[in-house]
Structure 1
Amino acid sequence: MALNYRSFGFQVLVGMVVGLALGLLARSMGSGPNGDLNWLATALKTTGSIFVSLLKAVVPPLVFAAIIASIANLRALDNAARLAGQTLLWFAITALIAVVIGLAIGLIVQPGSGLHGQALATAKPDSVGGWLDFLKGLVPGNSFALSASTKVTDTGATTSLSFNILQLLVVSIAIGLATLKVGEKAEPFLAFVRSLLAVVRAILGWIIRLTPIGSAALIGSAVATYGWSALAQLGGFAGAVYLGLALVLLVVYPLLLAANGLSPLPFFAKAWPAIQLGFVSRSSVGTLPVTETVTERMGVEKGYAAFAIPLASTTKMDGCASIYPALAAIFVAGFYGIPLHAADYALIAFVSVVGSAATAGLTGAIVMLTLTLSTLGLPLEGAGLLLAIDPILDMGRTAVNVAGQVLVATIVAKREGILDEAAYQGKADLAVA
């Protein structure tokens, strides 16, 4: 089969290779005149930040419109309550399998034990997740889930507004359920929401076309900033995380597909554009339109895909909320010489399965990590140990998140008889826009 040099996948692959080369070049150039980043490292960091900012800019309207529209779509489905229940059940099943793998690898590798006493950064993270904060954070402070933060510097104080995605998810679910309750009177509002969703997706499509450039900048910036020293210093932990991610993606998911009478090869061929975009963007929500598109091409009934994928993109996190917190907790305990017992491992599994919504589909997993550490009573400074390599780990975590989101929708559709198996077995189309 001839390689399509104009395909999105090939362009992203080229971007990643170029980014790696530019990152190595920027690192070899050393620091700037005043010890700051050199011009190439600055350019890579700025370009990558702009790409991520563009993705984040469309997240609030995308989550709002997609969740409301997905809940409204339940009216058109037979056995809607059963489909919703099966979806949530498979979210929990796959999350539990992932966290068990994370715990098993952590117990075998013991990634933090050999690093005790080494000079690694151990500052507490700026943001900390706790169960009380998590529960309080579910309650929106206002109808738009807006929050304000003030940062004081030597030059003055600046106040910025941001959306709390978890609260926005709660608001959107409440409004979506209200539209079901209101019925026909809600149709004009739903028409507006669906139009908003179409417009936001069009804008996001334009941003996604910039992914080859964004991936080059993000990977290049990570290499230029951290090099290989951070990975070498925390190499055992990074290797354990990627081993766990690989086992879930390449062993567990194929076995689950096979157990449900589906061949894994068509799944990965069709899901690849979404997995790839998740890897470079580090955002499950930003990948949502591509994830939904590949799910429909998988043969999943369109109405169900429109419900399952927006929900999964904000709550289904096998990488960030299952494998990673389990390994990170064992790493931190080993680093500080704190023994963990059977009850602690059971608690890690519980937190990972129940608290996954805390990640809210955005880049990074610091909230879920600190939630796990605080629940176990482990030092929160331990999260600071892992921040240096978090962007590198987050790429793999998000790729697994996205694959798991498509997987659950496909399995539920198959089990409920709403999967077009001819489409599932058909040729993959790797175009995303």
Structure 2
Amino acid sequence: MYKYFKKISLGNWILIGMILGFIVGLFLNFYVNDPFIKNTVFIDNIFYLGGTGFIRLMKMLVVPLVFFSIVVGVSSISDIKKIGTIGGRTILIYLVTTALAITIALIIGMFIKPGMGLNLVATGQSASVTINQTMSDTILNVIPENPFTALANGDMLPVIIFAVIIGIILAQLKEEVQLISDIFDQSNKIMMEMTSLVMKFAPIGVFCLMAKTFAGLGFEGLLPLGKYVLCVLIGLAVQALLVYPSLMVVFTRLNPIRFFKKFFSVMLFAFSASSSNATIPLNIDKLEEMGVSREVSSFTIPLGATVNMDGTAIMQGVAVMFAAQAYGIDLGTSALITVIFTAVLASVGTAGVPSVGLVTLTMVFNSVGLPVEAIGMLFGIDHILDMFRTAVNIAGDAICTIIVSFKNKSMDVDVFNGKKESNVNRIKFGDLVA
């Protein structure tokens, strides 16, 4: 029996925790009338302790995880100088597509309103958010007056900027600060391992959060969750079937339908693996079959697995609208701009492993003061959505790589169009930027 349970994946355990929490919560809501047992014993103590304890563990991870991840991520792209315009174009396209993704998600969330009807304030939770900042204040708040204060207080935008600056300097100094670079790299590995450890408690945390929520809400809480899933899937479909093909046609005049036919097997693998990193070798090989130089894709695809998380950005944008509407918070223009900016920068520090986007979602919530407790409701259904958004992520990496390769004349268009067999000439980076 133990061996059977051991084979169940973490994602499935989280889903089981969500379902059980939903059932237990409804049972307490409709069949337990004793206020001492229902409220004092379960809701205010057992479920509160388990749910809040897990949320605090998540909060504990956010600042160091994002800080070390971004420092390591930025410092690792020191090859940008070596490859010149290829690196610049790649970073620019990745950041633009991520900004488009989060903007699309926010717009969809505004129209469909996934959090409406889920009155989380009524369950005893509260929220506050600053929405009346001027544009100047929003920009100035990004600059850390004291980076250590920002780290201590969890002010994520200043932390991100500080981490980016350190990463750039490490990339420039290279061997002169190799010891410091190694320390950051090892610290990042420690935080990733700690994240894996904390995530093992996710099924218990999700169970307690779901039970506590539905013990007071009932069936009416299901509709908002369904609308949340619908919003994310619509956003992913718009990004994959409209934004990416449009960019491909505008910049290369290549047929996106031909691309998706050839690339579908890679997307299917990414869907099942839920990991951008695990798909890197398959992605590079498939692009080479399409006529893309491996020397280009071997740089852009691993970079994309780190900094190009459009699917994750869509999930985070919808989650922001979900939480704001559920708590009755009207986010102002400056707050929405902050969400876009934070989500784009957070994508730089989001590792290409399953469900880590929910950890950095805590950072996005903190940037505009939204209660992170709402994230607990999204854990149980995130594993399914993670499969879809990973497929979108790696498709975005591939199309951006095709655009960059095409613009740098390092792509055999005839191979892509099926006019001849793949026989890519191995072009060196020095030749590309000459």
Report the TM-score, using the length of structure 1 for normalisation: 0.60
2: CA distance between counterparts of 1:119 and 1:298? Answer: 55
Secondary structure of the residue aligned to 1:426 is coil
User: Is 1:271 aligned to residue 271 of structure 2?
Assistant: no
Which structure has the bigger radius of gyration? 2
Residue type of the alignment partner of 2:193: S
Q: Deviations over 1:212-252 (max 9, x none)?
A: xxxxxxxxxxxxxxxxx997661000010001001111111
Q: Deviations over 1:257-299 (max 9, x none)?
A: 1212010122112221221111111111111111111122221
In structure 2, relative to structure 1, the CA distance for the partners of 1:69 and 1:107 (3 Å cut) is: closer
Q: 2:346 aligns with which of 341, 355, 370?
A: 355
In structure 2, relative to structure 1, the CA distance for the partners of 1:303 and 1:161 (3 Å cut) is: closer
Correspondence list, 1:315-334, <5 A: 315-320=307-312, 322-334=313-325
1: CA distance between counterparts of 2:189 and 2:300? Answer: 31
1: CA distance between counterparts of 2:354 and 2:124? Answer: 21
Report the TM-score, using the length of structure 2 for normalisation: 0.60
Correspondence list, 1:373-392, <5 A: 373-392=365-384
1: CA distance between counterparts of 2:192 and 2:371? Answer: 30
Secondary structure of the residue aligned to 1:339 is coil
Residue type of the alignment partner of 1:88: I
In structure 2, relative to structure 1, the CA distance for the partners of 1:48 and 1:141 (3 Å cut) is: farther
1:162 equivalent in structure 2: 193
Contact residue 114 and residue 224 of structure 2 kept, 8 A: no
Q: Which runs of 5+ in 2 are unaligned?
A: 14-72, 127-153, 167-180, 197-218, 422-434
The structure with the greater share of residues assigned to helix is 2
2: CA distance between counterparts of 1:136 and 1:68? Answer: 13
1:192 equivalent in structure 2: none
Number of residue pairs aligned between Structure 1 and Structure 2: 298
Q: Give the RMSD, CA atoms, in angstroms.
A: 4.0
Q: Which runs of 5+ in 1 are unaligned?
A: 1-36, 50-65, 150-159, 166-228
1:109 equivalent in structure 2: 112
Residue type of the alignment partner of 1:354: L
1:98 equivalent in structure 2: 101
Q: 1:87 aligns with which of 81, 86, 90?
A: 90
Residue type of the alignment partner of 1:348: V
1: CA distance between counterparts of 2:365 and 2:192? Answer: 28
Contact residue 280 and residue 301 of structure 2 kept, 8 A: yes
Aligned residues: percent identity?
30
User: Is 1:343 aligned to residue 343 of structure 2?
Assistant: no
2:174 equivalent in structure 1: none
1: CA distance between counterparts of 2:380 and 2:122? Answer: 13
Q: Give 1:396 shift.
A: 1.0
Residue type of the alignment partner of 2:345: V
2:296 equivalent in structure 1: 304
Secondary structure of the residue aligned to 1:419 is coil
User: Is 1:291 aligned to residue 291 of structure 2?
Assistant: no
Correspondence list, 1:6-155, <5 A: 43-45=7-9, 80-117=83-120, 130-131=156-157, 142=183, 144-146=185-187
Residue type of the alignment partner of 2:379: L
Contact residue 98 and residue 318 of structure 1 kept, 8 A: yes
Q: Give 1:83 shift.
A: 0.8
1:425 equivalent in structure 2: 417
In structure 2, relative to structure 1, the CA distance for the partners of 1:67 and 1:298 (3 Å cut) is: farther
2: CA distance between counterparts of 1:323 and 1:406? Answer: 18
Q: Deviations over 1:35-85 (max 9, x none)?
A: xx9997764438989xxxxxxxxxxxxxxxx9999977986xxxx211110
